[in-house]
Amino acid sequence: MNTLDTAQRCADAMLARDSATRALRISVAVSKPGSASARMEISASMINGHGVCHGGYIFTLADTAFAFACNTYGRVTVAAGATIDFLRSGRQGDFLLAEASERHRGRSNGIYDVTVTNQDGRLIAVFRGRSHSTDAPLIAEDQASL
């Protein structure tokens, strides 16, 4: 199985059991190993007490892109931590796009950068995630050998 197939199967395996991403109507795409994007519309239920999108949802979108990007190699990989900088507010009805790319991948640790932009291409947030790979397979062996 080539690396792009592995990446796609990993994404499929994760999505199949990912209630959180479904509940938020986030759509995810994996283009190559180490990269992923996630899209989400800011709904009324994401608005905070200042009348803008709760930063938690912007983080969640970025974290989703990060999770799919770092889980493209067939091993269960978890988020160890992240840093986010909020640069502009998100408004109800905005369409946000989070794009994750790999900055570093070591034996068990990785660094992924995510940018979150709105429908006008303006930068909403920058996010940097730190991943930790476990030894657990993310996709079944027989799938991997297809």
Residues near a copy of itself, by CB under 8 A? 13-21, 23, 44-51, 54-57, 59-61, 63-64, 67, 71, 76, 78-87, 89, 103-104, 106, 109, 111, 113, 115, 123, 126, 128, 130
Min dist. Cβ of residue 33 to a copy of itself (A): 17
E strand map for 33-122:
35-41, 75-86, 95-105, 109-117
Rounded Cα–Cα distance for residues 49 and 55 (Å) = 11
Nearer to a copy of itself, 81 or 121 (CB): 81
Min dist. Cβ of residue 71 to a copy of itself (A): 8
Identify the DSSP state of 89: -
Min dist. Cβ of residue 4 to a copy of itself (A): 19
Nearer to a copy of itself, 35 or 60 (CB): 60
Nearer to a copy of itself, 16 or 146 (CB): 16
Min dist. Cβ of residue 19 to a copy of itself (A): 5
**88: Cβ contacts below 8 Å, ≥ 6 apart:** 118, 122, 123, 124, 125
- C-alpha neighbours within 13 Å on the C-beta side of residue 123: 9
Nearer to a copy of itself, 4 or 87 (CB): 87
**130: Cβ contacts below 8 Å, ≥ 6 apart:** 79, 80, 81, 82, 109, 110, 111
